[in-house]
Amino acid sequence: MWPLRRRFRTARLEVRGSTFEWGSRTYVMGIINVTPDSFSGDGIGDDPGRAVALAREFETAGADILDLGGESSRPGAEPLQPEEEWRRVLPALEAVRAATDLPLSIDTYHSAVAEAALRAGADIVNDIHGLRADPAMAETVARYGAALVAMHNQRGREFHDVVGDIRAGFSESLGLAEAAGIDLGRIVLDPGFGFGWTPEQNLEMLRRLPELWDVEMPLLVGTSRKSTIGLVLDAPVEERFEGTAASIAASIAAGADIVRVHDVREMVRVARVTDAIVRGNWRQR
């Protein structure tokens, strides 16, 4: 079983009273899109009440982390100014923080939004540019002692090889983190499924995920409802449930430690059964 061969630089991560024991099981991050234009059709707009209701639903369903974002990251989406992004996301984040003790992640690549969210009670910064978009982001994460999800984003970058390009991106992000004084034991790496890759390259990424084990850091994979699944199934976004489940199971078998999903209740169950198979883990949460 792959967990017996997997090694980590740091065995665990402590976030707001939650302990993430890497290699013990798969953790589930639930997506709360505080946007009107999410690609997945689940954007709830800037309504704190709807955000709280979804957060409570996800917590009951078994989510380990809640990830709030105010800007759509779909290809072609209009970039937001930081002021507009935090206007959208902060009221929802503050309301969710008051409603749950789960670790909260802010999905942003703007340091100003990250800082405002961390002040409001966020615990994790989920940066789809891996600290490379905003020169102040690394220092902000370090100053607050936040955990970090650093994603490799292939958009606008020359392609050479799927794993080689991911490794190069990880190296850049980790270099920026180390220079800013971020504890590397508080970093999770995301290879960036759906961000600048062809469908074939996305699928290759999942097949070759074990080639990234030697970075000895936890990996997050986010395939939920994405267009590659739609192309494989010839299905619109609302009909990608089974394809998402298959990709989540494959990702876990290939080494994902966290999966980022829209359908929390169902994907928690997928993760538990997959863990029982690949990790021999029958432990109930």
Indicate whether 140 pLDDT > 90.
Answer: yes
Q: What percentage of the chain reaches a pLDDT higher than 70? A: 92
How high is the pLDDT of residue 37?
53
CA dihedral over 152, 170, 255, 258, signed as positive or negative: negative
Q: Is 283 a catalytic residue?
A: no
Window from 43-57, 101-115, 166-180 with minimum mean pLDDT: 43-57
Q: Taking a C-beta distance cutoff of 8 angstroms, is the pair 230, 236 a contact?
A: yes
How high is the pLDDT of residue 47?
82
Indicate whether 92 pLDDT > 80.
Answer: yes
Whole-angstrom CA distances from 138 to 61, 77, 182, 198, 234 are 33, 25, 7, 29, 40
pLDDT tens per residue, range 194-248: 999 999 999 999 999 999 999 999 999 999 999 999 999 999 999 999 999 999 9
Distance CA(119)–CA(140), nearest Å, equals 11
Pair type for strands 18-21 and 12-15 = antiparallel
Indicate whether 1 pLDDT > 90.
Answer: no
Q: Is 226 a catalytic residue?
A: yes
How high is the pLDDT of residue 236?
93
> Average pLDDT of 50-59?
96
Catalytic choice (6, 186, 260, 279): 260
CA dihedral over 5, 7, 12, 15, signed as positive or negative: negative
Distance CA(224)–CA(249), nearest Å, equals 12
Catalytic choice (226, 240, 272, 279): 226
How high is the pLDDT of residue 41?
46
How high is the pLDDT of residue 110?
97
Distance CA(285)–CA(282), nearest Å, equals 10
pTM of the complete model: 0.93
Indicate whether 75 pLDDT > 70.
Answer: no
What is the pLDDT confidence band of residue 40, given thresholds at 50, 70 and 90? very low
Q: Taking a C-beta distance cutoff of 8 angstroms, is the pair 191, 219 a contact?
A: yes
Q: Taking a C-beta distance cutoff of 8 angstroms, is the pair 31, 260 a contact?
A: yes
What is the pLDDT confidence band of residue 280, given thresholds at 50, 70 and 90? confident
Domains of the chain in start order, with CATH, are 2-9+20-278 (3.20.20.20)
Window from 67-76, 157-166, 273-282 with minimum mean pLDDT: 67-76
What is the pLDDT confidence band of residue 186, given thresholds at 50, 70 and 90? very high
* Helix 82-99 and helix 111-119, axial crossing angle in degrees, nearest 10: 20
